[in-house]
C-alpha cells in the first residue's frame, strides 16, 4: 500500500465524517464511488472492486452509526420500539443482499448504484417528501420494510437513512424522531453488511493483502480514524448554514460521483 493510497483513505474519511456531521448521512454514497476510484488506481482485481468498496463502506458505518445513535438517544429522539420491530428484517435483508451482491458482476452493481445515487440526488434537489398518510405498521410490516431497506442498503453500501427516513415520514413519524431512529437502524445494517461481505468474500482468490473477505482493512482504518475527527466540524458548520442549501450541495456532489461511475460504465 502506497502513501498516496493512505492519504486517499484519510481524505475519504475526512469527507465522509464531515458530511455525516453536516447532513446526518452515514457517508456511504460518498465512500463507495471514491473507494472505487482509489482501488482502480491501485490495480485491485476489477471484478471485485465494487464488492470491496461496498463491504468496506458498510464496515465503516458500524463506527459512525454508534456515535450517531448515542447522540440521538441522549436527545430522546430514538423510537426503540420501531428499531426492535425492524432490526430482524434489516439483518436478514442485508445478509441476503450481501450474499446476492457477492455473486453478481461489478457492472450490474455499478448500474444499480448509479441509478440509486441519481434518485437520491433528485429527491434532495426537489425537496420531495412523502405525504404522511398512515401510521407505522405492526411487526410484520416493520420486518418487511426492514428487509427491503436492508437489501437495498447492502447493494449500495449505505446505512439506510435515505430509505428509512422517508418510510417513517410517510408513516407520520416526526422528522427529528425519524432521523434519530434511522441513526439507530443503521447499526444492524452495518453490522450485518460487515459480516455478510467478510464471509462471502472469504476464500476469494486475488483479493489484496489486508482484506477480510470483501472488507479492505487499511481503507477501513483510515476512513474511521479521519471521520471521527471531522464529524464534529461538520456538525458545527451545520448550525450556521441553511439545511436546504447543504442538501443541494450534497446532491450536486452525488451527481458528479455517480456521473463519473456512469462514464466508466459507458466507456
Phi then psi dihedrals of residue 211, to 5 deg: -95, 140
pLDDT at 25 over 70: no
Site of grid cell 410490516: 141
The listed range with the strongest mean pLDDT (67-71, 97-101, 184-188, 234-238) is: 97-101
pLDDT in tens, 205-244: 889 999 999 999 999 999 999 887 887 777 677 667 776 7
Query: How far is Cα 65 from Cα 154, in angstroms, rounded to an integer?
Result: 15
Query: How far is Cα 248 from Cα 236, in angstroms, rounded to an integer?
Result: 18
Provide the residue ranges of all domains of the chain, joining segments of one domain with +: 3-266
- Banded model confidence at residue 57, pLDDT cuts 50, 70, 90: very high
Amino acid at each position: 500500500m502506497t502513501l498516496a493510497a493512505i492519504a486517499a483513505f484519510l481524505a475519504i474519511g475526512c469527507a465522509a465524517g464531515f458530511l455525516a456531521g453536516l447532513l446526518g448521512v452515514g457517508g456511504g454514497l460518498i465512500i463507495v464511488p471514491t473507494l472505487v476510484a482509489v482501488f482502480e488506481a491501485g490495480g485491485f482485481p476489477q471484478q471485485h472492486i465494487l464488492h470491496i468498496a461496498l463491504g468496506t463502506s458498510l464496515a465503516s458505518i458500524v463506527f459512525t452509526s454508534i456515535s450517531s445513535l448515542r447522540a440521538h438517544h441522549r436527545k430522546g429522539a430514538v423510537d426503540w420500539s420501531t428499531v426492535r420491530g425492524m432490526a430482524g428484517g434489516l439483518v436478514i435483508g442485508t445478509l441476503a443482499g450481501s450474499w446476492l451482491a457477492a455473486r453478481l458482476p461489478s457492472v450490474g452493481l455499478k448500474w444499480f448504484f448509479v441509478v440509486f445515487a441519481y434518485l437520491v440526488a433528485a429527491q434532495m434537489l426537489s425537496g420531495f417528501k412523502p405525504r404522511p398518510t398512515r401510521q407505522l405498521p405492526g411487526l410484520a410490516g416493520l420486518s418487511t420494510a426492514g428487509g427491503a431497506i436492508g437489501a437495498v442498503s447492502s447493494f449500495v453500501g449505505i446505512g439506510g437513512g435515505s430509505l428509512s427516513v422517508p418510510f417513517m415520514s410517510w408513516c407520520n413519524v416526526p422528522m427529528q424522531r425519524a432521523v434519530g431512529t434511522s441513526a439507530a437502524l443503521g447499526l444492524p445494517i452495518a453490522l450485518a453488511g460487515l459480516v455478510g461481505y467478510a464471509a462471502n468474500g472469504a476464500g476469494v482468490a486475488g483479493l489484496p493483502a489486508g482484506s477480510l473477505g470483501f472488507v479492505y482493512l487499511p481503507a477501513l482504518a483510515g476512513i474511521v480514524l479521519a471521520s471521527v475527527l471531522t464529524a464534529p466540524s461538520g456538525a458545527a458548520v451545520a448550525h450556521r448554514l441553511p439545511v436546504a442549501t447543504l442538501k443541494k450541495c450534497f446532491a450536486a456532489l452525488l451527481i458528479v460521483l455517480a456521473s463519473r461511475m456512469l462514464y466508466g460504465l459507458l466507456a
